[in-house]
């Protein structure tokens, strides 16, 4: 079956949009990975304020590793005021995306009753 010019043009526009979306996603992942690595370097250098500044925008964008590490900062009061409830929220966001370390950290907070009511069932779940 022969395509009409209009049909072919429509298909090409759809393919172009799909390719551009994939490219934008790849660039975003690369930028997130680079920003995340810089934040982690700052964390290990004990520059917690810089680590927070690097992790916060990535966590806000839904990057699970950034959410988990930002949760660590809140849990330990590093570069921010200690806030177990905020740590729980961030760990939960990362845990929902399958981040095993966030799941473990969340389970520990349920076990200790920090930021949440102590709940051994939830602790075991995570």
- pTM of the predicted model, to two decimals? 0.73
Tell which wins on pLDDT, 88 or 126. Answer: 88
User: Whole-angstrom Cα distance, residue 48 to residue 7?
Assistant: 55
Residues 6+ apart with CB under 8 A from 123: 107, 108, 110, 111
Q: What percent of the chain has pLDDT over 90?
A: 69
Q: With 0-12 CB in 10 A as exposed, 13-18 as middle and 19+ as buried, what is 38?
A: middle
- Would residue 106 be called left, alpha or beta, if left means φ above 0 and alpha means ψ between -120 and 50 degrees? alpha
Please name which of 57, 49, 56 lies closest in space to residue 71, comparing C-alpha atoms.
Answer: 56
Sign for the pseudo-dihedral over CA of 100, 87, 116, 61: negative
Domains and CATH numbers, the chain: 5-125 (1.25.40.10)
Cβ atoms of residues 65 and 94 within 8 Å: yes
User: Whole-angstrom Cα distance, residue 66 to residue 91?
Assistant: 10
Segment 102-122 mean pLDDT: 95
Tell which wins on pLDDT, 21 or 119. Answer: 119
């Amino acid at each position: 079956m022969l395509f009409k010019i209009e049909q072919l043009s429509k298909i090409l526009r759809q393919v172009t949009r799909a390719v551009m979306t994939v490219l934008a996603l790849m660039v975003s992942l690369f930028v997130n990975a680079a920003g995340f690595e810089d934040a982690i370097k700052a964390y290990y250098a004990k520059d917690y304020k810089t680590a927070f500044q690097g992790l916060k925008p990535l966590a806000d964008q839904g990057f699970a590793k950034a959410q988990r590490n930002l949760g660590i900062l809140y849990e330990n009061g590093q570069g921010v005021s200690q806030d177990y409830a905020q740590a729980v929220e961030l760990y939960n966001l990362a845990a929902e995306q399958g981040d095993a370390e966030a799941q473990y950290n969340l389970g520990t907070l349920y076990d200790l009753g920090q930021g949440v009511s102590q709940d051994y069932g939830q602790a075991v779940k995570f």
